[in-house]
Amino acid sequence: MAIDTGAVRAYLLGLQARIVAALEAADGKGFVSDAWTRPAGGALEGDGLTRLVEEGALFERGGCNFSHVRGTALPPSATQHRRELAGAPFEAMGVSLVLHPRNPYVPTVHMNVRMLAATPARGATVSWFGGGMDLTPYYGFEDDARHFHRSCKAAIGSGLYARFKPWCDEYFFLAHRGEPRGVGGIFFDDFVLPEEQGGHEAGFALIRATGDAFLDAYLPIVQRRRELPYGERERDFQAWRRGRYVEFNLVWDRGTHFGLHGGGRAESILMSMPPLARWRYAWQPEPGTPEARLATDFLRPRDWADE
Q: Which residues are CB-contacts of 14 (< 8 A; sequence separation ≥ 6)?
A: none
pLDDT, one tens digit per residue, over 124-137 is 777 889 999 999 99
Instruction: Provide the annotated active-site residues.
Output: 110
Which string of DSSP letters, residue by residue, matches the chain?
Answer: --S--HHHHHHHHHHHHHHHHHHHHHHSSPPEEEEEEE-TTSSEEEEEEEEEEES-SSEEEEEEEEEEEEESS--GGG-TT-GGGTT--EEEEEEEEEEEESSTTSPEEEEEEEEEEE--SSS--EEEEEEEEEEE-SS--HHHHHHHHHHHHHHH-HHHHHHHHHHHHHHSEETTTTEESSSEEEEEEEE---GGGTHHHHHHHHHHHHHHHHHHHHHHHHHHHTT----HHHHHHHHHHHHHHHHHHHHT-HHHHHHHHTT--HHHHGGGS-S-----TT--PPTTSHHHHIIIIISS---GGG-
pLDDT at residue 2 above 80? no
pLDDT at 78 over 70: no
For residues 214 and 227, give the distance between their C-alpha atoms in angstroms, rounded to a whole number: 21
Q: Per residue in 95-146, pLDDT tens? A: 999 999 999 999 999 999 999 888 777 777 778 899 999 999 999 999 999 9
The contacts of residue 306 (CB under 8 Å, 6+ apart) are: none
Environment class of 133 (CB within 10 Å of its CB; exposed 0-12, middle 13-18, buried 19+): buried
Q: What is the pLDDT of residue 79?
A: 52
Residue 110 · residue 179 · CB < 8 Å:
no
Q: What is the pLDDT of residue 256?
A: 85
How confident is the model at residue 5, as a pLDDT?
A: 82
pLDDT for res 81: 58
Q: What is the reported pLDDT for 1? A: 40
Structural domains for the chain: 6-306 (3.40.1500.10)
Q: When comparing pLDDT for 15 and 80, which is higher?
A: 15
Q: What is the pLDDT of residue 11?
A: 97
Q: Lowest-pLDDT range, 121-135, 172-186, 274-288?
A: 121-135
CA–CA separation, 229 and 220 (whole Å)? 18
Instruction: Please say whether the beta carbons of 25 and 33 come within 8 A.
Output: no
pLDDT at residue 257, as a whole number: 80
